[in-house]
Structure 1
Amino acid sequence: MSSTAPLPPATFLYKSDPVRGQQWADVFRERAPEIDFRIWPDIGDPAKVRFLAAWEPPEQLAERFPHLEVLFSSGAGVDQFNFNALPTHLPVVRMVEPGIVQGMVEYVTRAVLDLHRDMPQYRRQQQRGEWRPLPVRPASQRRVGVLGLGSLGQAVLQQLQGMGFACAGWSRSRHHLEGIGCYAGNDELPAFLEKLDILVCLLPLTDSTRGFLNADLFSRLPPGTSLVHVGRGPQLVTSDLLAALATGQLAEAVLDVTDPEPLPASHPVWRHPHVQITPHIASMTQPLSAAAVVIDNLHRFHAGTPMTGLVDRTRGY
């Protein structure tokens, strides 16, 4: 939905990275000049704040901003929010914008291709000065499964499918994607896992996904499966990962998220020869498109139509 009609005057408060905030301010100045856009801690009159975008909201939100109407997450996730501390009537909206999707597609595609073409093994061989070609398998013979079929998971699967990989996806609820095997619910999880060469985790962090990547799940994968973890750090039981790598149940792991972040310098995962770590950079909100998405949602809110990314609190995403 796009609209050129002016929005009702209100204060929009941004509480996140201030450099990105200045870029948001430029977009608001151009596209919604009637909005008083402020960057924390310059909040102005708190009674006039109707909208807040934040990675971590301030404490005592209802008392501090008594007329707040919508809380926007400045990122794709909302697991950093303590919903028990938020007013029950307050709509919470996660960030859904093209930059996040494209970044994730790029990262996961790179990781899958790296694993598919045995690049981790070639890097280890290079360190040993060893020249040894490995058999090359076509993408159609490599089975890739994605945990999580939201906008990110679907985009990743469509990209990988277009490259010829045999693709499947799993989520709590039923989905239908053309040419992709879709599994749903706990009963279908074992059948999904038993057919994979590469497992990608793109699940949101909820109570039900905390510790989801554990020894039991790894045991249901074919021996030698590789993991690409781009969900949230607390979903992975790191000790179970190390045990699975030690036995060969898992061959390789690509981790963009850890628990905690960053890992302590002495953590064994840092130096594990079969683990690649990146510092939670798989996908980042692009400030200009993110601000445009938020302005579009403000128009939706005032028009009484559903906002993009509105969170279902019962699900946590």
Structure 2
Amino acid sequence: MSVNVLFAATEDRWTEYETPLRKEIAAAGIDAHVATDIPADQVDYIVYAPNSEVKDFAPFTRAKAVLNLWAGVEEIVGNPTLHLPLARMVDPALTQGMVEWVVGHVLRLHLGMDAHINAAAGTWEPQAPPLSFDTPVTVLGLGELGTACAHALAGLGFPVTGWSRTQKDIPDITCLSGDAGLDHALSVATYCVLLLPKTAATENTLNARTLALMPKGTRILNPGRGPLIDDDALLAALDAGHVDHATLDVFRVEPLPAEHPYWSHPRVTVTPHIASETRAAYSSKTIAENIRRGEAGEPFLYLVDRGAGY
């Protein structure tokens, strides 16, 4: 009997996913009908993006799981009609993209690249950059993405401290948890990378109090979620020189409004939510594997903890 897979996302996503998703599901040994217009009571799996038209999951009476196209689930996890298993997206391309963005922007600031790129002709100031060995980095959030970034930075010689809601044990990373652990992680951060999920508990993780804990001259990178930062507090810390620079990829309102002070601030770099992206050729493999597991009666990968919100 064929498995019915509803693709519930925008039309442009369907154009991107139709061929690779069908290919990977077939390669997983699943006979499936994959479409955007399957009646709700005949759907076995929902491949889902929160900006789709599907908001009420009650009619999906035979569905086995919702397979999110994105890493973030904050737009769906609280849906009161959703009682199905919910899996977030984890795939190697998503992780690799985040690692490359984080490492690239840390090294850009660490090596002082902007000063040389923007220097006037004839400028000759031979001052060597610091070594990674002497430059502590703190990564807030030790999920798939945070752990991968922490490992990559540690591999370059940076002493890395990681903080997470629950205690982790990761080789070569100093792992902390809890309120006291967060304060300590911030107090040693020459660089601070934010890769926490968006939940009620993580909103404004960086605020006036926590920013003040950080060493003077620290650099902040946020490729995680916009609401992790109190924008007014960060701007004040930048203006005071306490924070040397902020490289920001995510914001409370996107696209970032043209009048927002981040655009013109000399100590802020804005990137347009490009740190990482799901790519159909890779994420289709994750979706296909979860469908295979569902049909085989095996546990789904990357299930969301509803209580934690991620």
Give the TM-score, by structure 2 length.
0.92
Greater than 6 Å deviation, 4+ residue runs: none
Look up the match of 2:226.
Answer: 233
Q: Write out aligned runs for 1:1-317 (5 A).
A: 9-33=2-26, 34-39=31-36, 43-56=37-50, 57-81=52-76, 83-87=78-82, 89-122=83-116, 126=119, 131-317=124-310
| SS at structure 2 position matched to 1:12 | strand
Which amino acid is the alignment partner of residue 262 of structure 2? Answer: V
CA distance in 2 between counterparts of 1:204 and 1:128 reads 44
CA distance in 2 between counterparts of 1:173 and 1:82 reads 20
Give the 3 Å change call, closer, same or farther, for CA 28–119 of structure 1 in structure 2.
closer
| SS at structure 2 position matched to 1:62 | coil
Deviations 1:34-75 (A, max 9, x none): 211113xxx132321121122215355234433332111111
Q: CA RMSD in A?
A: 2.0
Task: Indicate conservation of the 8 Å contact 1:256/1:282, yes or no.
Answer: yes
Runs of 5+ unmatched residues, structure 1: 1-7
- Number of aligned pairs? 305
CA distance in 1 between counterparts of 2:55 and 2:109 reads 46
CA distance in 2 between counterparts of 1:239 and 1:101 reads 30
CA distance in 2 between counterparts of 1:52 and 1:100 reads 20
Aligned-residue offset at 1:120: 4.0
Aligned-residue offset at 1:202: 0.4
Task: Indicate conservation of the 8 Å contact 2:9/2:53, yes or no.
Answer: no
Aligned-residue offset at 1:17: 4.3
| SS at structure 2 position matched to 1:176 | coil
| SS at structure 2 position matched to 1:77 | coil
Q: Name the % identity.
A: 35
CA distance in 2 between counterparts of 1:156 and 1:60 reads 34
Aligned-residue offset at 1:15: 2.3
Aligned-residue offset at 1:100: 0.4
Task: Indicate conservation of the 8 Å contact 2:8/2:54, yes or no.
Answer: no
CA distance in 1 between counterparts of 2:104 and 2:24 reads 36
Give the 3 Å change call, closer, same or farther, for CA 121–217 of structure 1 in structure 2.
farther
Aligned-residue offset at 1:32: 3.3
Task: Indicate conservation of the 8 Å contact 2:138/2:191, yes or no.
Answer: yes
Larger deviation, residues 260-269 vs 101-110: 260-269
Runs of 5+ unmatched residues, structure 2: none
CA distance in 2 between counterparts of 1:259 and 1:221 reads 23
Give the 3 Å change call, closer, same or farther, for CA 195–59 of structure 1 in structure 2.
same
Task: Indicate conservation of the 8 Å contact 1:55/1:80, yes or no.
Answer: no
CA distance in 2 between counterparts of 1:75 and 1:177 reads 25
